[in-house]
Amino acid sequence: MATQCPKCQTENPDTLKFCGECGTHLTPGDKSQPSFTKTLETPVSELTRGTLFADRYEIIEELGSGGMGKVYRVEDKKTKEEIAIKLIRPEVAADKKMIDRFRNELTTARKIRHKNICGMYDLSEHKGTHYITMEYVSGEDLKGLIRRVGRLDSGTAAKIANQVCEGLSEAHRLGVIHRDLKPSNVMIDKEGNARIMDFGIARSVKAKGLTGEGIIIGTPEYMSPEQAEAKELDHRSDIYSLGVIMYEMVTGQLPFEGDTPLSIAMKHKGEIPKYPKELNPQIPEDFNRLILRCMEKDKEKRFHTAEELLSELSKIEEGIPTTERIVLKRKPKIKGKHLLLFSGAAVILILLILAVFFLLPKRQATIDSIAVLPLRTSSDNPKQDIFANGMTEQIINELGKIRALRTISRQSVMQYKDSIKPMPVIAQELDVGALVEGEIFHTEQQVLITIRLIDGKKDRTIWSNEFKDEPRDILVLRSKVARAIADEIKIAITPEEESWLQSAPQVNPEAYEAYQMGRNELRKGQFDAWRKALEYFERAVEIESSFALSYAGLAEAHAWRAGVVFAPEDSWPKVKEAAEKALTLDDGLSEAHTILAWEKFQYEFDWQEAEKEFRRAFQLNPNNANAHHIYSWFLSAMERQDEAIAQIKIARKLDPLYITIKHNEGWILSSAERYDEAQKIINDIIDSNPEYPLGYWDLAYLYMCQRRYEEAIAPIQKAINLLGDEIADVIPILGYIYGRLGKETEAREILKQLDEIATTGKYVTPISWAWIYLGLGENDKAFEWLEKAYETHATWIVYIKIDPYYVNIRSDPRFKALLKKMGLE
């Protein structure tokens, strides 16, 4: 009875344990599986061809299994790409520390980009099953090749080892060790190139303590002695494992075998292997010595680095005649009598292709959306990295001026820094037609930028170019890059946009560097970083007082702390002063108009001027996600809810991965009484970001809008716990809820906490006390605090018409009088 191989579908005699074609392990009675798709209703251990896993991945075939779990080739129905997924065994996934370690280590492994390394993507979970997604490499693994061919000739073994070593060298350069290097984790692709797989248990050399003491990770047959003893590992452990792989390639057998994994591991620790040359006399002596040096028990005696090993391997490979190297690629054979027919058909086909290419009219590019990925730098200098991030943002801002082109904002694209995700996946996640990637090199004399424009769906380079200029012309350079990209995709540019793209002044390089350092600190979102940002922006202004962007940076830095950390009267005037100074120097700064609009909305209660500034910001940069974002707050406060929702959705489209925008969409939908939509978004925030406190704030706010006060307690307490010391703006909400539920003692305890916080000198908005008194039903005291909030233009009072705290006083004459004073009635 024949046994069909589950991998290549070859029919094999039932006497074979491994497929004669591809080397896959055979189980008698294996049959090919039906090709139709079915929803997953069976345990993950029984996944078969056609099963739809996690409502997204259609199983094509099982690729193999190991100590961590099974690996499948699947089609990602979302991206229409073939990838591989590893389903982690339940007994492994049950250890939360193990899963946390995987998650941490994948973060590191994703940074590795190399032609000899298979890319790792993400760790996810579906109905209790944890799985890792990774790049799928079509071909066969090295273990299967060894089984199929037997021992490899020295030339082929050296070539494979050389490529594996190149991949290891890049990983080690980034501080990552593999820890489970073995032939089944090395794929030989269709071109005959080696690719290292499964960096899922890789560990950053710098990240100590992620593996529990005494835990052994790896495969016994390929373990280094120190790994067998569960000692701390470094890159030399991978060199040992590569030595074992080379040993197996050239001899066709393992150096150590045993009845149990422990016995094999102990042999690695204490036994000396047979010389490879004894088992295969054809091995060159220098190759024999190299393998044995890799397998030294004392790691100090091994090659010290992968680069050192690579250098020696290259010499050995060069010295082996090419006739001794087998061809790894499988090519179809064309027999003699068919050769002439095939050649003629090929000629006709080529002529047809050429005719179509030259005679058909060329289609104009239809790219109308783009994402500029973080520019890379080859330098280890942190300032170079900051400079690259800053230039990325500058190019995004320049492209954003083109109305006909949707340009993704900085917050979303920066999440792909050091990512190894394929370009089509990134394009699909950001919903864009094209991607821009490149490198930047910056010296005191010159700035050099290399740019590539990539078709997002086809992962094809459309165009590339190099730009260079002096540092003082850095703003001119960013405009040149943006203009060149626009020209290449043939996007329509109005005369007004053309003038904006060409209006770029020179700038003092030191001032520009200080400005970029300030932007870098501001992005961190931390209090200490905010102070440093102010210092950098002020330094930039001191160096060059006519540098408009520095004043815009100052305005934005003050705005994010105005009325939150500092009293409104101590901070908003500084925002206005800096923003107006920036616009005096350059009225074309969309970001400065945005911040000025925010100040007029939050502090001056000048609704008409605020809207005028927002519209000017959109005119200058229709892709300014921050402007659309803050404008949605304004519209919601004005009770123009449909417009507010439209604006927040535009902001989401321009910045799809920025969680703060998503959080505010949930809040606006709740205020607009679109509760089902709000619930869906809030659930998604919490599910994907369980440590994000504002997701729980959103849920509590949704429940308050629906007067489900009892249910609001748990999420707001969760938000308080996650916020730590930053609770002054959140605990009043809990006080209000307690008051509404008749829990007077608890509500008054929170009043005391607010008093204590205020005595420390930390600013607390008067509206906080008002909310708690409103919850307690003590309206007279609540109105006293509301008057203080109005007089000081306190945070949150601008939302008085929509927030649920005022539900019981909306008919009170004092409430209507307050709205009139604010110009809201």
Given 180, 198, 455, 803, which residue is catalytic? 180
Distance CA 474, CA 391 (A): 9
Distance CA 36, CA 45 (A): 19
Strand partners, 74: 59, 83
232 within 8 A of 214, measured Cβ to Cβ = no
Distance CA 52, CA 55 (A): 6
Q: Which tokens go with 119?
A: 């890319």
| Helical residues (DSSP H) of 4-60, grouped into ranges | none
Distance CA 723, CA 773 (A): 24
CA distances for 320 relative to 193, 228, 247, 325, 786, angstroms:
18, 34, 17, 8, 86
Residue carrying structure tokens 């908005």: 765
Distance CA 310, CA 553 (A): 48
Residue carrying structure tokens 């042999």: 267
Residues contacting residue 307 through CB under 8 Å, at least 6 positions apart: 169
Strand partners, 69: 88
Q: What is the DSSP letter of 663?
A: H
Active site residue 180: yes
434 within 8 A of 428, measured Cβ to Cβ = no
411 within 8 A of 111, measured Cβ to Cβ = no
Q: Which tokens go with 710?
A: 């009892």
Distance CA 282, CA 163 (A): 22
Q: Which amino acid is at 531?
A: R
Q: Which tokens go with 817?
A: 């009088």
Distance CA 552, CA 582 (A): 6
- Tallying the residues shown for the chain, one arrives at 825
Distance CA 444, CA 611 (A): 43
Q: Nearest CA to 61 among 83, 43, 93?
A: 83
748 within 8 A of 722, measured Cβ to Cβ = no
Buried b (16+ CB within 10 A) or exposed e, 564-589: beebbeebbebbbebbebbbebbebb
Distance CA 259, CA 277 (A): 26
Chain Cα centroid distance, residue 494: 34
Active-site residues, by number, are 180
